Structure 1
Amino acid sequence: MSSTAGKLVTSRSELNIEDYLPSGSSIEEPRGKLRLLDLIDISPTLTEAAGAIIDDSFTRCFKSNPPEPWNWNIYLFPLWCFGVVVRYCILFPLRCLTLAFGWFIFLSTFIPVHSLLKGQDKLRKNIERVLVEMICSFFVGSWTGVVKYHGPRPSIRPKQVYVANHTSMIDFIVLEQMTAFAVIMQKHPGWVGLLQSTILESVGCIWFNRSEAKDREIVARKLRDHVQGADNNPLLIFPEGTCVNNNYTVMFKKGAFELGCTVCPIAIKYNKIFVDAFWNSRKQSFTMHLLQLMTSWAVVCEVWYLEPQTIRPGETAIEFAERVRDMISLRAGLKKVPWDGYLKYSRPSSKHSERKQQSFAESLLARLEEK
C-alpha cells in the first residue's frame, strides 16, 4: 500500500457515525464510532492480502539469505581483511591453476579419444566416462569441495532413473564426479552451452529449451529410449525444473515418474557455513557463480543415495512424485511448498505490483470520499 493510503487509514480509521446517518436517526453511545472496515467492502483487500502471502511463500524459495556480518568491531575486522587476502590472493590463483591443469589433461586426452576411437564405441564411451568424472573432480577441487556421500554408488543398469533436489548447476558436477550421469538440463548459452553440445553429449546428456513447447515431446521420447539401453549411463533428472535455495523443495514434475522404471532418489544438502551454493540465474551468471565459489573458503555438501522406489498399484505419477519428494525433503531437512517452480519465470514485474498498490490506494480513497 502506498504511503498516501497508509496515512489515510491512520487518520480516518475511526469516524463519527452521526456524519453518515440520516437526520433524526440515533444510535447508542457505545457504537458512536465507526471503523474503517464498516465503511468499505474488504473482500478485494483480503484478496490482495492473500495474493501477497502466496507471493511471499513462493519467492522465499528463490532468495539467497546472506550471512549475518561478523566483522563489526575493531578486533574482528583485521581478521576479516586477512581472510579476504588469503581467499583472493592465495587460494583463488591456486584454484585457477588447479582447474587449468585439469582442463589441460582432460582436453589432451578427450580430443584424441573422441576423434580416433569412433569405430570402438564401447571403449570410447568408457574412457570418456572416466574423463568426465575426472574433470568434474577438478571442478570440485577448485572450490575446495568437502563432499560426503552416503549410500551405495549408482550403477549402470536399464530401466532406472535418478532424481534429486536442485540448488545449482554444480549439483550435476558434485554428482558427476562419482558417477558419469546422463543428465537432462536446460540448454544454456555461452561457454556452458559449448560444453553441453560437445563434451557432455558424450555421456548421453539430453538438452531442452524451456521456451520451445515442441521440445517436450522430443525430450520425453529421448528419455524413454535412454532408460531402455543397458549400456547407457544412469539418467539423472532434477524434477523441480529450476534451482531452489536449498531450504525448500517445490513441486516435482511428473515426467521422470511416468517412464515405467525404478526411481532412485538423491538428497543433496549444502552447508552454508562457508558459502551459499544457491545459484539465482536471474541475478547472476554461472561464470560469476563459479567465481563466488572459487573465492570462498570451501563448499561443504552431503549427498544421500536413498532406497530405490517403484510406483505402487493404483498410485498416479503425481502421487509417486510427491512420495519421492517427501523422502528427499525429509532426508535433506528441506521444507515442502506446494508451488510449481516454473512460476519463477512468469512472475509479474515490480512495476505491475506498484500499479496494483496505487490502484488499491485510489479506490480506498474514493470509497471514503463517497461515504
Structure 2
Amino acid sequence: MLLWWWIVCFWGFIIPYNITSALGWSFHIREKYVKFITWLSRTIGNIGKRPVKVDTSEATQHHPVTIATLPHNRSFGTFKKEFQLSDACGFVTNGLQVIVEDHVTKCFTTEELTEWNFLARTRTGQEKMGVKHWILFCLSIVVRYSLFLFIRIPIGITGLLWLAGTMAVLGMLPQFSGRKKAEVYCTVVCSKILAASLTAVVKFEKEEYKPQCGGICVANHTSPMDIAMLACNNCFTLVGQRHGGFFGMLQKACDLAQKHIWFERSEAGQRSMVSERLKDHIQDGTNNPILIFPEGTCINNTSVFMFKKGCFELGSTIYPVVIKYDRAYSDPFWNSSQQNLLTYLFMLMTSWAVVCDIKYLEPTTIKEHETAIEFASRIKTAICREGGLVDLEWDGMIKRAMYDKSLQKTLQLNQEKYASLLDLHTFDEHNSEDIEHQEESWEDLEPRKRTVFTVGLSDQ
C-alpha cells in the first residue's frame, strides 16, 4: 500500500511539473541534471577512455601514399616470367586505405566516441573492463532501465495524448481569428512535453533569425526528434515521406488540425505534386513556415550530404538552421533501415539525456544569376561551417541502396557472373601456350585475358 501511495505521489509530481514546464514555468531541473552528469563523469575520470586515433590526414604528410602501378611496355610472356607476388602489394595497400578512409558509409552508423559513456550501444570492445568498470556499467543499466523508464514513459504518453487530443479538438473547430495562435501554442507545448520525456535540454541561438510565416526552414537531419527539438519554440508545416506503423499514427494525428505534405517515394508524379503544394503554401504569407530536411535521409550528425534542389527553386526566403547534438549523453542517430521508431525512442529513453544546440542562421534568398543547385550548395556550406560538420557532396540516397535487399541480391548475381568470366580454366592449354610465346605487348592484349592472367597468378 505504501509503495502504491509513493508511486501515485511521484507521478503526481512528475507529470504536472513537466506540463507546467512546457507551459512556460520552469525550474531548470533538467539543466541541473545534465550538469550533475557532466560533473560525475569528470569525477570518475578516464574510466571509459579509448585510444586516440591518429589523424590520417596528418600521418600521410610524413608517409605519403604512392599509387601502385604496373609497367605496360613489357610483353605478355616477359611479364608472366618476371611477375612477383610483391607486385600486388601496392594495389592491396591502396585498396585497404580506401576501405579504412571511407568517409561516406561511416556516416550511416553511430559515431565512435573518444570516451565511453557507459551505454551498451556505443561500446566497441576497446574499453578495459575491470571490476570497477563492470560495477559502474551495471549500475548504469539499473538506473537507466528502471528509474529513467519509470519517469519518462508516463511523460511520453502524456505528450502523445496531448497531441492527439488537442489536434482532434482544433480540427473540429471552425476557422476563427485565434485558431492559428492556438495551433502554435498546442504544438509547442506538445513538443516540450515530448522533449521532457527524453530529458532533453534544448538551447537556441540567434532567435532573431527564427523562421517566419511564408518561409522555408532547412536543416541537417539526424532523426525524427529534430522536429520535436525545433518545434519547442515554433510551429512548422512538415514535408516528408509517408510512413506506416507508429510513425504513421503520429503523422495522422498531426493532420487532424494542420495540413502537412506527405509523399511516397515509390510513386511516380509525387515530385510534381509536392512542388505544387509547396508553391501554393508559400504564396499565403500567414501559413506556418515549411520545415524541410533537404538531405532526404538521416545522417549521424557528423556530416551533411548533398541538398536536393527542390525547395531552393521556389523563390522563397530560406531560413538555414544548424542542429547539433552532444553525443556524450545519447546516440541521436536513427538508422531507419535497421530499427523502427519505437525501438529508437526506447533507446533514447534509456540514455542519459538528449542535449541539443540549435542555431538559427541569417535568412537568405537566391541571388541573381544563381542556379538552384548553387543556392543549395551555398546554404549547405553555411550550415557545415557554423555547425562544425563535414561537407560531403554525396547523395544521401546511397544509404537506401546500402540496405536495399533486392539491390544487394542483384549486385551479388552480377558479382557471380563477373567472377565466372575470371575463371582461368575457361582457356584451354593450347591457347595459353600460344599466348605465352607471342611477342605481343601488354597493351595489345585483350583486357579480359589480362585480367584472367592476373587473377590466375594470385590464385596459384
TM-score interval w.r.t. the shorter chain?
Answer: 0.7 to 0.9
Report the AA paired with residue 153 of structure 2.
C
1:360 Cα offset (Å): 5.0
1:157 partnered with 2:213: yes
For 1:84 and 1:169, how far apart are their aligned partners in 2?
Answer: 25
Alpha-carbon contact 1:167-1:278 (below 8 Å) kept: yes
Q: Secondary structure at the match of 1:269?
A: strand
1:367 equivalent in structure 2: 453
1:9-35 residue CA offsets vs partner (Å, 9 max, x unmatched): xxxxxxxx9x946xxxxx9xxx98433
Q: CA deviation at 1:278?
A: 0.6
Task: Write the letter of the residue equivalent to 1:174.
Answer: M
Which whole-Å CA distance do the structure 2 matches of 1:201 and 1:58 have between them?
Answer: 39
Contact 1:156-1:232 within 8 A present in 2 as well: no
Q: Structure 2 counterpart of 1:113, which letter?
A: L
Counterparts of 1:203 and 1:267 in 2: how far apart (Å)?
Answer: 25
Alignment: residue pair count: 339
1:309-353: CA deviation from partner (whole Å, max 9, x where unpaired)? 111111111001000000001111111111111232234417835
Q: TM-score, normalised by structure 2?
A: 0.66
1:167–1:244 Cα contact (<8 Å) kept: yes
- How far off its partner does 1:129 sit? 2.2
Structure 2 counterpart of 1:64, from 110, 134, 147: 110
Matches within 5 A, 1:64-213: 64-65=110-111, 66-68=122-124, 70=127, 72-115=129-172, 117-118=173-174, 120-152=175-207, 154-158=210-214, 160-200=215-255, 202-213=257-268
CA positional deviation for 1:219: 0.6
2:394 is equivalent to residue 339 of structure 1? yes
How far does residue 201 in structure 1 lie from its aligned partner after superposition? 5.6
Runs of 4+ in 1 over 6 A off after TM superposition: none
Distance in 1 of aligned mates of 2:294 and 2:383: 12
Contact residue 216 and residue 317 of structure 2 kept, 8 A: yes
Change (3 A) 1:32 1:187: closer
1:182-221 deviations in Å (ceiling 9; x for gaps): 1111111012212212324633321111111211111100
**Counterpart position of 2:14:** none
Instruction: Quote the Cα distance in structure 2 between the aligned partners of 1:178 and 1:200.
Output: 20
Cα distance change on mapping 1:328 and 1:361 into 2, 3 Å: farther
User: Is 1:236 matched up with 2:285?
Assistant: no
What residue ranges of structure 2 are gaps of 5+ in the alignment? Answer: 1-73, 112-121, 425-451
CA distance in 1, matches of 2:137, 2:305: 36
Distance in 2 of aligned mates of 1:317 and 1:268: 23
Deviations 1:100-146 (A, max 9, x none): 2334444444433332x22x344333222211221111111111001
Secondary structure at the residue paired with 2:308?
coil
State the SS of the aligned residue for 1:134. helix
Correspondence for 2:346: 291
Gaps spanning 5+ residues in structure 1: where? Answer: 1-16, 22-26
Compute the RMSD of aligned alpha carbons: 3.5
Whether contact under 8 Å (2:195, 2:228) holds in the other structure is: yes
CA-to-aligned-CA distance 1:60-107 (integer Å, 9 cap, x gap): 221223344657110121111111111111111110111223344444
Mapped to 1, the partners of 2:130 and 2:85 lie a distance apart of: 48
Provide the identity percentage.
35
1:193-342 alignment runs, 5 A limit = 193-200=248-255, 202-342=257-397
TM-score (norm 1): 0.81
Work out whether residues 125 and 202 of structure 1, in 8 Å CA contact, stay in contact via their aligned partners in 2. no
Alignment deviations for residues 209-251 of structure 1 (CA, whole Å, 9 cap, x no partner): 1111211111100101111112111111100011111111110
CA distance in 1, matches of 2:157, 2:294: 33
More strand by share: 1
Question: 2:84 matched to 1:35?
Answer: yes
Give me the whole-angstrom Cα distance separating, in 1, the residues matched to 2:166 and 2:128: 46
CA-CA distance at 1:359 after TM superposition: 4.5
Residue in 2 aligned with 1:352? 411
* CA–CA separation in structure 1 for the residues paired with 2:261 and 2:418: 46
Which one-letter code corresponds to 2:194 in the other structure? Answer: F
CA deviations on 1:155-207 (whole Å, 9 max, x unpaired) are 5333x211000011111111012101111111110122122123246333211
